[in-house]
Amino acid sequence: MPVQYNSSSPGAPGTWRYGGNQLKRWRTKANVTREELGAASNYSPDTIKAMEQGVRMPTARVLDVADELCHAEGLLSAAKDYVRREPFPARAQDFMQYEQQAASLWWYEVALIPGLLQTDAYARWLIGNRCPPLDDDVVEERVVARLARQALLEARPAVACTFVLYEAVLRNPRVGKGQLLHLLERGRRNNVSVQVLPFSRAIPSALLGSMVLLETRDHERFAFTEGPSSSQLTSEAAVVSSHTERLSMIRSEALGTEESALFIERMVDEQ
């Protein structure tokens, strides 16, 4: 049966919502106000409210302070082992799970270096300049998580990975010499191919946005598309087939792997 996930809002992890609910229940039972808990833990009452609603992650400090104030006998403090910040935005988590099960993967990008090919500096620039801005610790966690995904390129058995990059991706001033050299290094792996679609070879279907196609080791096939505030992961055969046909057209216009490497090398020389 086809699997389809659509997401237009970031949502909140279930552990946050459950932890916040328990925090509110214990606080109410002990007749402790949000103001009192906030003052004792050095948070505003509005922040305490956001934690109780699951909008923000209940922090270890709040859970420990609430545990003592509400006489929870360690039951609230114990939540620290389960209430953790998710390493990926909620709308991308399903895709990340299937990505780690991939036997083959095809990725087309029109604006950004794919996550599996990013350097630390480039990933940090992208994640650290979100709007609204992320807290420093969230940025660090997401950078680490993104770089950890790249172990897929060195997995055994090998995962066949094909990346096609529109020239605009490489022309971004933030794509410096280090990132270009990283692309060349990754492209030398037997299981990784990197192709460039030059401006001069662009076709209308190449301008419609990025996409990822993957097949799992259980031979499930998925298509993933992502925008600024929404994403779609689907195994619906008609949709996967449509994306596959579009990618085939794009790849037929892109430079071959050797030509692409020469293209990137010329850009390195221009730096």
Average pLDDT, the chain: 90
Q: How far is CA 205 from CA 90, 113, 211, 240, 247, in A?
A: 28, 19, 12, 15, 9
Q: How confident is the model at residue 79 (pLDDT cuts 50, 70, 90)?
A: confident
Which region among 61-75, 135-149, 152-166 has the lowest average model confidence (pLDDT)? 135-149
> What values do phi and psi take at 118, rounded to 5?
-80, 145
pTM over 0.85: no
Superfamily of the domain at 14-81: lambda repressor-like DNA-binding domains (1.10.260.40)
> Does residue 43 or residue 203 have the better pLDDT?
203
pLDDT in the model for residue 12: 54
Which part of the chain is CATH 3.30.870? 90-270
Annotation: CATH topology of 90-270: Endonuclease; Chain A (3.30.870)
Q: Model confidence over 89-105: pLDDT tens digits? A: 655 767 888 898 999 99
pLDDT in the model for residue 8: 43
Q: Model confidence over 213-244: pLDDT tens digits? A: 999 999 999 999 987 777 888 999 999 999 99
Which part of the chain is CATH 1.10.260.40? 14-81
Residue 2: is its pLDDT beyond 80? no
Do 72 and 15 form a contact (C-beta atoms < 8 A)?
A: no
Residue 11: is its pLDDT beyond 50? no
Q: Which two tokens stand for residue 204?
A: 């209308």
